[in-house]
A = this chain, B = another copy of it.
Amino acid sequence: MSQKVFVSAQEVADRAGVSRSAVSRTFTPGASVSPETRRKVLEAADALGYHVNHLARGLMRNESGIVCLIVSDMATPHRSGLIKALTEQLQSAGKIAMLVNTDLSDGSVDLALRQAIRYRADASIILSGMPDKSITQLCLKSGQRLVLINRDDEQDGPLRINLDDEEAASRVVTAFLRAGCRKFALANSEAGTPSLMAREKGFVAAARTHGLDVIVERYGWTSYESGRVLAQRLLTQSQRPDAVFCATDLLACGFMDAARNQFSLSVPNQLCVAGFDDIEQASWASYQLTTFAQPLATIAQEAVLWLDSKEGANSQGRAHAIRLHADLVWRGSVRGG
């Protein structure tokens, strides 16, 4: 029916009175085509509503321009912020993002990567659980680049971008000490991702160097609700902590709300709270959370920069790891900023 669908380069060529190659070259940056021909082609293309078929182009060039974003919990403030930053950078670099949600089934990071391979994505950026070794091998063998964000691991081949979680966590200890706190607690989820564990580890270790023990509590997945539960657990301890580091802002928000509403504690007077990620809500008046800013823009930049750079010389540079610094954002949830 109206299934005449898309107009092809041939039709443009016919209308412009040139060969199909001329049309192709007109839309290929850097190709040799005379101004006159180019004009005729562009005119015809415009009249006909022609758009280069990137599927076919990708087939020929063996490079689709597609970058696959593999992500779980994508409605989360931090994740959606990262997705936004990545799409912006990708689009500026002339690439396009394909989005795969891994919340559906288990082990679906592998499924997602397969999807990326099917569409011959130039690269996959993973913000989700760890992919199997076997599938990452497959990706690399197929010439797919791989970027792992905030999931440090022993994989080689892909680019890994991480924050210095441990070092950042140790700075929380300094902040808490300066606020005059002495009874430290750490609230974490049970997700057990490398960055979450690094924050925990860094905090506990730094406290220990000051001769302080830390009550560590883990619960559920990384959410506001878990923060509330963690507050229940930590604030009913015989030795109630006077400073708690939440591994994530989302946890911190839940924690603070429970501390205030259910335990009538005033933050920061009776309880200091710090978080991590600097999600938008951390700056809201109700929270004023002292936290660490994820350099989203920088992360995204580094990722697509690497994708572009490796385009030419891809065999030489094997694994590559980038470790970024997280800036401490002082707000009211810790005394003495």
A1-31 interface code vs B (CB 8 A; 1 in, 0 out):
1111110000000000000000000000000
Q: Give A224 to B281 CA distance when docked, in angstroms.
A: 9
Could you say which residues of chain B place their CB within 8 Å of the CB of A98? 66, 96-99
Q: Give A83 to B100 CA distance when docked, in angstroms.
A: 11
A131 within 8 A of B: no
Could you say which residues of chain B place their CB within 8 Å of the CB of A180? none
Could you say which residues of chain B place their CB within 8 Å of the CB of A80? 74-77, 79-80, 83
Which residues 72-108 in A have Cβ within 8 Å of B in the complex?
74-77, 79-81, 83-84, 87-88, 91-92, 96-101, 103-104
A233 within 8 A of B: no
Query: Nearest CB to that of A223 among chain B residues?
Result: B280
Could you say which residues of chain B place their CB within 8 Å of the CB of A4? 143
Which bucket holds chain A's interface residue count?
Answer: 35 or more
Known: A64-B55, A285-B261. A91 touches B120 (CB 8 A): no
Could you say which residues of chain B place their CB within 8 Å of the CB of A120? 6, 53-55
Interface centre among A79, A96, A104, A114 (most CB of B within 10 A): A96
Could you say which residues of chain B place their CB within 8 Å of the CB of A254? 284
- On whether the beta carbons of A103 and B118 are closer than 8 Å, the reply is no
Known: A77-B77, A98-B97, A253-B284. A51 touches B118 (CB 8 A): yes
A315 within 8 A of B: yes
- On whether the beta carbons of B104 and A92 are closer than 8 Å, the reply is yes
Known: A55-B64, A75-B84, A84-B74. A6 touches B143 (CB 8 A): yes
Question: In the complex this chain forms, how many copies of it are found?
Answer: 2
- A27 to chain B minimum Cβ distance, whole angstroms, is 10
Select one of B5, B51, B281 contacting A281, CB under 8 A.
B281
Select one of B1, B75, B119 contacting A96, CB under 8 A.
B119
- On whether the beta carbons of A114 and B83 are closer than 8 Å, the reply is no
Could you say which residues of chain B place their CB within 8 Å of the CB of A191? none
A117 within 8 A of B: yes
- On whether the beta carbons of B2 and A141 are closer than 8 Å, the reply is yes
Q: Give A91 to B224 CA distance when docked, in angstroms.
A: 27
- A66 to chain B minimum Cβ distance, whole angstroms, is 8
- On whether the beta carbons of B74 and A75 are closer than 8 Å, the reply is no
A136-156 interface code vs B (CB 8 A; 1 in, 0 out):
001001110000000000000
Show 23 A/B contacts (Cβ-Cβ < 8 Å), sorted by A: A2-B143, A3-B143, A5-B62, A6-B117, A6-B143, A49-B138, A53-B59, A55-B64, A55-B119, A55-B120, A75-B84, A76-B80, A79-B80, A80-B80, A87-B99, A87-B100, A91-B100, A96-B98, A96-B119, A253-B284, A254-B284, A257-B285, A286-B287
- The 9 tightest CB contacts between A and B, nearest first, are A80-B80, A257-B285, A87-B101, A286-B286, A1-B315, A5-B143, A75-B84, A54-B118, A75-B80
